[in-house]
Amino acid sequence: ILEDVLYYPDVPYNLLSVRRMQQAGLRITFNEEGIEISKNGKMVMYGKPMDNLITIDFKVNVKRIGNRNSQIHNAIINNYELWHKRLGHIGKAKFLELKDKQMVDNIEYIEKVIPTNNLCETCINCK
């Protein structure tokens, strides 16, 4: 739905701009229960209040460029890198432990793509 978005790796949350959503042709409706986001009369997202924020659960669609398998591979690596940072820069063993204990979802292929060497700049600088 949204293209040409900004990525800030040091921000711990994903933020959406109401104005950018409007520019993308989305209709945003705020009510007591939260927020509804629709396009062409069809609801595409909704959010619920949590503390002073509205949270939205959604999945990201990767734009198809090139080979589908390489896209999936890159998306999984990016997902691992994101969760590595979100979970306090945990290592491969701890990440796989979370997977084995079924504490994380949707990471069926993660074991095949977790980097064997630590390329995280923060982890390298802290060692």
> Does the model's pTM come out above 0.75?
no
Identify which of 99, 10, 109, 58 has the alpha carbon closest to the alpha carbon of residue 90: 99
Q: pLDDT tens across 10-24, in order? A: 776 777 888 888 888
Q: Tokens representing 116?
A: 């064997």
Q: pLDDT tens across 30-75, in order? A: 988 889 888 898 888 888 888 888 888 655 444 444 444 444 344 4
